[in-house]
Each structure stands twice: as C-alpha cells, then as structure tokens.
Chains A and B, each alone.
Chain A
C-alpha cells in the first residue's frame, strides 16, 4: 500500500512518528515509573512505621552502643556510640580486604605463571588448584576453614608453640616490639628511607630512558628503605624489648594476636580469589603476541627474565581491568565473614539492627560503606591502569 514515496518524518515533529518525541515519552514514562515506585515504597515504609510506632532515623548513631566487639584495631568500649562501633566494623572489613588483596595478588600471580611452567608437576598442580577452588562456593570454603581451625588446632589451654609463636583455637599469638618513644625514630627512618628510595628509583628510570643503562629498580630501593629504618632504629637507641606471648591459666596472653575468625576469613578469601586472579594472569600472558617471547629468547634472555621484563609488563595492560573486578569481588565477599563470627561491618550492622530495630537505616549504612569502597577501588585501579597503558610518544 505504501507505494508512494514517503517523506521521512522531521526530527522535531511532535507526533508519535517522531523519534525524538517517542524518546521523550519513553523517558517520561520511565521517570514516572521510578518516581512512583520510590514513592510507593517510601510511603509504605513511613506508613508502616507510623501506625506501629516504630522509631526511625539515624539519630541512634550518637547513642551508646552498649555492646563489646571482640577484635578492634583501636580501643572500643561499650560506652562508645554506635558510629564508633560501625567504624570498628569498617576498619575490620578494610583490614581483611587489604591484606587479602595483597596476598591474593602474590599467590594468584605465582599460580598464573605456574601454568606456563616447563615442569609438568607444577603445571598440573596449578591447574588442579584453580579448578578445585573456583568451583566451590566461597561460603563453604570459609566455613570449612573455620571448622578446621576450631577442630584441628590444639585447645587454648595447651597451645602449641614454635619459639615465641603460639597457635591454638584462640588464634595465632606472636611477639610484637614493646612500644617506646624510641620507635618513633625507627618510623621516621623508615619514612626517610621510603622517600630516598622513591627518588632513587625515579633517577634510575630517567637514566635508563636517557642512556639505556639499566639499574636495579627493586633491590637497591629496598636496601635503601631497610638501611633508612635501621639508621632510625640506631638513632633511637636500639630498643630491643619485645612483648612475648606466654601461656596464662586459660589462654595465651600478651603479644600481638590474630583470631581464628580473622585467619579463616583471610585464608578463605585469598585461596578462593587467587584461583580467579591466576586465570586473569594466565589469559593476560597468553594475550601477549607469541613473537614477543620468541624475540626475548632470540636476545638470549633467560626464562625468568623473559617473564619479568617482556611478558608481564605487556600482559599488565590486559590484566588490570579484570584484576580490579577480582579485588572488588574479594572486598564484597569479605561480607561473608558474618557467617563465622568475624566482626566486620555487616556483623556490626546486624548487631545494631537488633539492639535498635533500625533495619532500614543499618542496611543502608552497610550498602553505602561497600559502595564507597567499591568506587574508591575502581578509581584507584583506573588511575593505575592509565599509568600502565601504552604510552604513545
């Protein structure tokens, strides 16, 4: 029927045939739907709370929490307010996530590289590891590690010890240097060493770019940092007092300690995520053109040098984005710590829900904490990604 040539509708024609108009309508409908749903939910919640006399709002954050927290990096007392309790939870989450990310990166990279080993046993072992650990839910792995930690380790009363390290159901106790003002000098020395090492590294890099002479980029700076710390320690009068854990009547007392909950969460997160990270590393290395590795061998580089100087730096560009995802996953998975009694932010939030009844507020807080952490990690990794990208000159 439509044989006659149709004139295309004008873009700004306010009829249903205009794309722009339809687009506008679609958007209005969507916005209306979103607004209606939001209003519907908010209205119901407010109505429910009003009718039943449920109190709401974030004012509870400044009231006394009234409960204790098993482990905290800074002092927390039951007289402290709720916001401080949440802070303890956030710090605990970040602590396990940060240590976890560090260890996962190391373990995952090693296993990923191990998949390319010329040794069949190493290859097979790495592959078995990856298949086994990534195909089992992380929650079960956490529960299993915790079960093993609480069942197999010796009782608190007869903690096993290797030197000053005690291991029992109460956790791992280790000596820590007894705090004195002299340690400030060590810290200052460490800081100075870091600055000097950074400056040295930059200079070496610049010299490499100008002259092509390669200096040590890792061991020399490391030595500078260590020497700096040692000088600081010497200047502070070489304090050597250590707080060594010893067996008390019921438990190991003194020294630093890590609870079995922390260790189980850390172990579960690291072993699970490392399987994924190793796959990321493997596919990254595989993505580097084969000619690169042939060229490296033609130059006479050893297998280790080839990996370190040719393959990994190029693979890094492919690795970083999926690696960021794995870091985010690890951080989010740390919320499962609640299942085995590690006081992370979810666990504290749960307790707060029960003590105050503010379910909506507490869950919103938990979500915001994770959102901010995720965003911050993304931004940080985005910055690093830009640094590692190919620099066109």
Chain B
C-alpha cells in the first residue's frame, strides 16, 4: 500500500517535470505575436519625447513610434501594441523572461548588457551622451566645477557608472545621491537637494523643457561625459525576430535618406529609383526574406513616417524638447545615421 502511494507521488513528480520542459524554437516570438495579434513593447514609465502616456493612456514619443512601426510592419496595424511601462530595474528581466517582445526604452547599448544579460542590441535610434544640468543661478559653467558637490542620479543606469568615472578621472570627488525612480531624482534636484542632475543629454532636455517651472532657470552644461547609443533591444535565441526589429529600423532610416515620407509613400511607389522600389516592395519582395509580406515598410512608413519625421515630431527643434538633429542626422548630412541597405 505504501509502495503504491509512493509510486503515485513519484509519477506525479515526473509528470510535472515533463510539463516544465517545453521546447523553445527560433521564430517563436513572431509566431506568438501573430497569434496574440499584438506586439508587447517595454517602454519608459515617462520620459517626454521618448515615451510618455497622456492622461487618456495614449503613448507617444520616439521609442514608442519605433514599436508602432514594427507592429505595423508585422501585424499591419500600428495600434496593435501592448505597452508595458518599465522602471530601470525591471526592464532587463522583463525582456529576458519574455514579458515583453522588444525593449524600446532609451536603453544604452554596452558590452556587459550585450554579452551577459542575454540580450541583443538592434539599431541605434538616438546617439546620445551624458551631461549635467545645473540651476542657472549656481553660475556653474563647466562640469569640472562640480568638485565635491552632490549630484542627483537615477539608480540602475549606465549614468551612475559614467558619473563615477568622470569624477575619478578628474579627481572631483562628486557625491552621488541615488534615487530609485527618475521622478524622485528630478524632484530632489528641483527641490535643491543636489547641485546638479545628470542623465543622457536628451533626458536632460526632456526634463528641463517639460518639468522645470521655468526652463531658463536651468542650464545644460555643454560637455558630454560619455557615449550613449540608445536603441531597442530584443532577447537572444530568436534571430528571426531580431532581424525584423533591426530591418524595420534600418528601413525607417533609409527611407529618410531616399526621401520617402509618411505622405508621399503612395506616390513614391511609382518611383523609378531601385532603392525606393526595394524598400516599398514594388519590384523585389524584401519582406518575404524576413517572414513578412512585401508591404511591410509601406505600412510602417504610413503609420509613423520615416526616421527624420519621427525625430522632428517627438524631439526635434519644433517639438517641446527642442533638440538639435546633431549627430543623429543622416551620414551624408554630417550625422551618424547610416542605415544598412535594404536589399
């Protein structure tokens, strides 16, 4: 009797074990997305210009538009996105575990993250650098004047390490005050707890223009202390999905280079330029190689426009952030945006 009971228990154990080892195969992400009819996109909890929800829960921003473009390319509708707002600490586990399909959350590409976190960097969507913001009345003109000062910083970012490196190389002995949430860090800075606030220059502009009582009360110091290539990440082990994310972004960048915009997509379909033809899938079916149909880029462009338009709309000189195009311009206009050719 006892023996049978033990056997039953053992059997149950084995059955549980068999359940647990479900096989994983490449391309699973695309299948899942098509099955669920939505792309799950991890975004920032709130960073004006990059990803921000209005009080109706509608998301907007550069990072958000990238996800929309991918959803349009894959599912045919840029609104078929489930937005998962993530804090700095949550973002990597959320992507690793499959909670989100793509992490488009102003995340810096770096060796540690690429090599040890099980993530793939796709394409840089914003070349950034870390800077400092100080109150105008402090009369600080140079980051090296911050000797021995307190600087507010958000925890769980590359920013924290860069600040330390900068302080060390220049012998400044900067005292970091580290906050769990970005709102707490900026709140403490505005309250005057710290002499400076540091994050990526784009983030500084966002904070200064959107959150400061009077933007002129704060200056962003000119020098940048690090390189911060920001872009979306996907998890390892699914090369097909990685390729889709990568090439949608390249497509957006190359479309700008060849003058395809949100409004002239349909006219451009009759263009004789072979590059344009390839992007819009009129001659060659570029989408098929990625497991998509031939209109993949057409839909993406109709939804959010090309990279230049995305930039202008969300962070460019005419937006609230007023960021110059700078290094984020096309390679033939003095910038770093050099898309691999869609062909």
User: Do A and B have CB atoms closer than 8 angstroms in the complex?
Assistant: yes
The yes or no answer to A188 lying at the interface (CB within 8 A) is no
Q: Which of B1, B180, B193 contacts A338 (CB 8 A)?
A: B180
Q: Which of A53, A156, A170, A340 contacts B118 (CB 8 A)?
A: A53
B190, closest chain A residue (CB): A150
Contact B174–A52 (Cβ < 8 Å): no
B-facing residues in A1-39 (Cβ within 8 Å): 14-16, 21, 24-25, 28-29, 32, 35-36, 39
Q: Name which of A16, A21, A68 has the most chain B CB atoms within 10 A of its CB.
A: A68
The yes or no answer to B97 lying at the interface (CB within 8 A) is yes
B173, closest chain A residue (CB): A68
B-facing residues in A231-262 (Cβ within 8 Å): 248, 250-251, 253, 259-261
Contact A70–B178 (Cβ < 8 Å): yes
Distance between B174 CB and nearest chain A CB, rounded to angstroms:
7
* 0/1 string, A187-203, CB within 8 A of B gives 1: 00000000000000000
The yes or no answer to B85 lying at the interface (CB within 8 A) is no
Q: CA of A14 to CA of B1 in the docked complex: distance in angstroms?
A: 7
Contact B156–A351 (Cβ < 8 Å): yes
The yes or no answer to A48 lying at the interface (CB within 8 A) is yes
Q: CA of A35 to CA of B20 in the docked complex: distance in angstroms?
A: 14
- 16 extra interface residue pairs, beta carbon distance < 8 Å, beyond A21-B1, A341-B180, A350-B180: A15-B1, A21-B2, A28-B9, A32-B12, A35-B13, A36-B13, A55-B116, A68-B174, A70-B150, A78-B165, A170-B150, A250-B138, A253-B148, A341-B188, A354-B155, A355-B161
- Chosen A-B contacts, 9 in total, with CB atoms closer than 8 Å, are A39-B17, A52-B118, A53-B116, A54-B116, A70-B177, A170-B150, A338-B180, A340-B184, A351-B178
Q: CA of A359 to CA of B117 in the docked complex: distance in angstroms?
A: 10
Contact B24–A347 (Cβ < 8 Å): no
The yes or no answer to B229 lying at the interface (CB within 8 A) is no
A-facing residues in B126-166 (Cβ within 8 Å): 138, 148-150, 152, 155-157, 160-161, 163-165
Given contacts A47-B21, A54-B96, A78-B168, contact A67 B193 (CB under 8 A): no
Interface size range of chain A in the complex: 35 or more
Q: CA of A78 to CA of B161 in the docked complex: distance in angstroms?
A: 9
Distance between A219 CB and nearest chain B CB, rounded to angstroms:
42
Q: Which of B113, B117, B167 contacts A68 (CB 8 A)?
A: B167
Q: Name which of B112, B191, B193 has the most chain A CB atoms within 10 A of its CB.
A: B193
Specify which chain A residues have a CB less than 8 angstroms from the CB of B270 in the assembled complex.
none
The yes or no answer to A361 lying at the interface (CB within 8 A) is no
Contact A147–B17 (Cβ < 8 Å): no
The yes or no answer to A306 lying at the interface (CB within 8 A) is no
A-facing residues in B84-106 (Cβ within 8 Å): 88-89, 92-93, 96-97
Q: CA of A311 to CA of B13 in the docked complex: distance in angstroms?
A: 59
Interface size range of chain B in the complex: 35 or more
Given contacts A170-B150, A341-B180, A353-B156, contact A32 B161 (CB under 8 A): no
The yes or no answer to A49 lying at the interface (CB within 8 A) is yes
The yes or no answer to B170 lying at the interface (CB within 8 A) is no
Q: Which of B6, B21, B163 contacts A43 (CB 8 A)?
A: B21
Q: CB within 8 Å of A: which residues of B? A: 1-2, 5-6, 9-10, 12-13, 16-17, 20-21, 24, 88-89, 92-93, 96-97, 112-113, 116-119, 138, 148-150, 152, 155-157, 160-161, 163-165, 167-168, 174-181, 184-185, 188, 191-193, 195, 235-237
The yes or no answer to A284 lying at the interface (CB within 8 A) is no
Contact B118–A151 (Cβ < 8 Å): no
Q: CA of A40 to CA of B18 in the docked complex: distance in angstroms?
A: 10
Q: Which of A21, A47, A78, A170 contacts B164 (CB 8 A)?
A: A78
Q: Which of A54, A253, A341 contacts B177 (CB 8 A)?
A: A341
Distance between B188 CB and nearest chain A CB, rounded to angstroms:
6
Specify which chain A residues have a CB less than 8 angstroms from the CB of B13 in the assembled complex.
32, 35-36
Given contacts A40-B20, A359-B93, contact A169 B156 (CB under 8 A): no
B-facing residues in A141-174 (Cβ within 8 Å): 147, 150-151, 155-157, 169-170
Q: CB within 8 Å of B: which residues of A? A: 14-16, 21, 24-25, 28-29, 32, 35-36, 39-40, 43-44, 47-49, 51-55, 66-71, 78, 147, 150-151, 155-157, 169-170, 248, 250-251, 253, 259-261, 338-341, 343, 347, 350-351, 353-357, 359
Distance between A10 CB and nearest chain B CB, rounded to angstroms:
15
Specify which chain A residues have a CB less than 8 angstroms from the CB of B156 in the assembled complex.
350-351, 353-354
Specify which chain B residues have a CB less than 8 angstroms from the CB of A28 in the assembled complex.
5-6, 9
Contact A351–B6 (Cβ < 8 Å): no
Distance between B177 CB and nearest chain A CB, rounded to angstroms:
5
Q: CA of A29 to CA of B13 in the docked complex: distance in angstroms?
A: 10
Distance between A184 CB and nearest chain B CB, rounded to angstroms:
28
Distance between A274 CB and nearest chain B CB, rounded to angstroms:
26
Q: Which of B138, B180, B193 contacts A150 (CB 8 A)?
A: B193
Specify which chain B residues have a CB less than 8 angstroms from the CB of A251 in the assembled complex.
148-150, 195
Distance between B151 CB and nearest chain A CB, rounded to angstroms:
9
Q: CA of A76 to CA of B195 in the docked complex: distance in angstroms?
A: 22
Specify which chain B residues have a CB less than 8 angstroms from the CB of A32 in the assembled complex.
9-10, 12-13
Q: CA of A32 to CA of B237 in the docked complex: distance in angstroms?
A: 33
What 4 pairs across the A-B complex have the smallest Cβ distances?
A52-B118, A354-B156, A150-B191, A54-B118
Q: Which of A21, A54, A150 contacts B188 (CB 8 A)?
A: A150
Q: CA of A288 to CA of B192 in the docked complex: distance in angstroms?
A: 51
